[in-house]
Amino acid sequence: MKVFSLWSVVLLVLTASGVAGQPEGVEAVTRPSADVMLGFVQPGRLAAVEVKDGDRVAAGDVLARLDDDAERLQADKLKAAADVRIHVEAAQAQVNQRQADLKKLEWAGERGAATAWEIEHARLELRIGELSVTKAEFDHDQARRDYERAKAILDRMRLVSPIDGIVNQVLFEKGESVQALKDVIHLVKIDPLWVEVPVPLAVARSLKMGNAATVTFAGPKTKAVQGKVVHVSSVGDAAAETLTVRVEAPNPSGRPAGERVRVRFGGVK
């Protein structure tokens, strides 16, 4: 019985591949082009789960939310404080009044009807008023910052989809408690699919981003699809003398990831 080395086995596979000029191609396995596990950054009780297994979602969709009633009330309170500028306006009105009073005293002083002490006192009152305006502006800006912080807390209590994809699995239900950073929802993107193809080093060096690649799925009636090279690894497998090349293939029919395919570099034939 003849014994083949690992490299011999790889060569036998690649001899039948498109890389070596044959139509069958290199065997590989498809995987999602995006695979995301989502969890909350803080613990809490799930108040709502908006999706179920198999749902299609768009980037920005809210998938789940923690109980945020207390945080929302606090945010509303801070928003009201941030929206009101009455303290700033009142302080500015006092400054305007003190400016008018100072001008009158200075006019009176020029005619001997007001003392220097009274004029200096009015100037100090004006300066105090100007500082009050600065303090009111600072307090108002701080209220706005507190509201922004409250909104950030509310945002962290929602799970938002970062991709257009499919809900592969929902791991918790409404009413359950979750821990911080615990996986709650698994999202995948399978259109397009990715295929990691082990290509001989000598051949892989000639491949570039955007090169055509034909991906053929298993099955007697399955048609080949035109893909393209989207990544060529910078580190090879010394034992097998191969380099991994990532091929992106369109998948409008929604075939599941994890299927065995054959990849040949070049156009569909």
What is residue 268's predicted lDDT score, i.e. its pLDDT?
A: 52
Q: Which two tokens stand for residue 56?
A: 């299609």
Q: Which residue has the higher pLDDT, 218 or 183?
A: 183
Q: Which of 8, 48, 17, 32 is nearest to 215 (CA)?
A: 17
pLDDT at 267 over 70: no
- Using CA atoms, how far residue 65 sits from 12, 54, 151, 169, in Å, is 53, 19, 14, 16
Q: Which residue has the higher pLDDT, 268 or 86?
A: 86
What is residue 24's predicted lDDT score, i.e. its pLDDT?
A: 67
Q: Is 15:22 a contact under the CB 8 Å cutoff?
A: yes
Q: Provide the pLDDT confidence category of residue 16 given band limits of 50, 70 and 90.
A: very low
What is residue 21's predicted lDDT score, i.e. its pLDDT?
A: 45
Q: Which of 67, 32, 38, 42 is nearest to 51 (CA)?
A: 38
Percent of the chain topping pLDDT 70 = 90
Q: What global pTM score does this model have?
A: 0.74
